[in-house]
Amino acid sequence: MSYSIVRVSKVKSGTNTTGIQKHVQRENNNYENEDIDHSKTYLNYDLVNDNKQNFNNLIEEKIEQNYTNKRKIRTDAVKHIDGLITSDNEFFNNQTSEDTKRFFEQAKQFLEQEYGKDNLLYATVHMDEKTPHMHYGVVPITDDGRLSAKEVVGNKKALTEFQDRFNEYVKQRGYDLERGQSRQVTNAKHEQMSQYKQKTEYHKQEYERESQKTDHIKQKNDKLIQEYQKSLNTLKKPINVPYEQETEKVGGLFSKEIQETGNVVISQEDFNEFQKQIKAAQDISEDYQFVKSGQVLKNAEQKYRDLDDELTESKIENENLVNEFNDLAQRYNQLLDENQKKDKELSDSFRLFQSVFKIIKNVVKEDVYHRLIDHIDNRLESPKMREVMTVDNNDDLFFKKKHKVQEPEIIFENDRDDGFTL
Span 191-210, mean pLDDT? 56
Judge whether 292 lies within some domain. Answer: no
Judge whether 316 lies within some domain. Answer: no
CA end-to-end span of the chain: 21
Judge whether 252 lies within some domain. Answer: no
Residue 355: phi, psi to the nearest 5? Answer: -65, -40
Judge whether 330 lies within some domain. Answer: no
- Cα-Cα-Cα-Cα dihedral of 100, 102, 107, 109, to 10°? 160
Confirm if 395 and 165 have CB atoms less than 8 A apart: no
The answer to whether residue 46 scores a pLDDT higher than 80 is: yes
Sort 260 into a burial class: Cβ within 10 Å, 0-12 / 13-18 / 19+.
Answer: exposed
Binned at pLDDT 50, 70 and 90, residue 28 comes out as confident
Strands (DSSP E) along 211-361, which ranges?
244-250, 257-265
Confirm if 173 and 157 have CB atoms less than 8 A apart: no
In DSSP terms, 257 is beta-bridged to 250
Judge whether 382 lies within some domain. Answer: yes
Confirm if 123 and 48 have CB atoms less than 8 A apart: yes
Judge whether 227 lies within some domain. Answer: no
| Number of domains composing the chain | 2
Binned at pLDDT 50, 70 and 90, residue 190 comes out as very low
Nearest to 216 by CA among 201, 316, 224: 224
In angstroms, the CA 239 to CA 414 distance is 80
In DSSP notation, 113-139 reads HHH-GGGEEEEEEE-SSSS-EEEEEE-
The CATH number linked to 71 is 3.30.930.30
Q: Of 132, 151, 180, which marks where a domain is finished? A: 180
Expressed as residue numbers, the domain containing 370 is 340-403
In DSSP notation, 388-410 reads HH--SHHHHHHHHHHHT---B--
Q: Residues, the chain, total? A: 422
Confirm if 372 and 364 have CB atoms less than 8 A apart: yes
In angstroms, the CA 353 to CA 361 distance is 12
Neighbouring residues of 187: CB distance < 8 A, sequence distance ≥ 6: none
Confirm if 171 and 3 have CB atoms less than 8 A apart: no
In angstroms, the CA 78 to CA 59 distance is 11
Q: Model confidence over 94-115: pLDDT tens digits?
A: 899 999 999 999 999 999 999 9
Judge whether 98 lies within some domain. Answer: yes
Residue 277: phi, psi to the nearest 5? Answer: -65, -35
Query: Rounded to the nearest 10 degrees, what angle do helices 183-236 and 296-363 cross at?
Result: 160
Span 400-410, mean pLDDT? 56
Q: Of 180, 208, 231, which marks where a domain is finished? A: 180
Q: Tell me the torsion sign for CA atoms 304, 306, 308, 310.
A: negative
Phi-psi region of 404 (alpha: psi -120 to 50; beta: other; left: phi over 0): left
In angstroms, the CA 337 to CA 170 distance is 33
Binned at pLDDT 50, 70 and 90, residue 134 comes out as very high
Q: Of 137, 160, 180, which marks where a domain is finished? A: 180
Residue 197 pLDDT: 52
Binned at pLDDT 50, 70 and 90, residue 124 comes out as very high
The answer to whether residue 125 scores a pLDDT higher than 50 is: yes
Q: Model confidence over 227-265: pLDDT tens digits?
A: 767 766 666 666 666 667 777 766 666 666 777 777 767
Judge whether 309 lies within some domain. Answer: no
Confirm if 244 and 261 have CB atoms less than 8 A apart: no
Binned at pLDDT 50, 70 and 90, residue 295 comes out as low
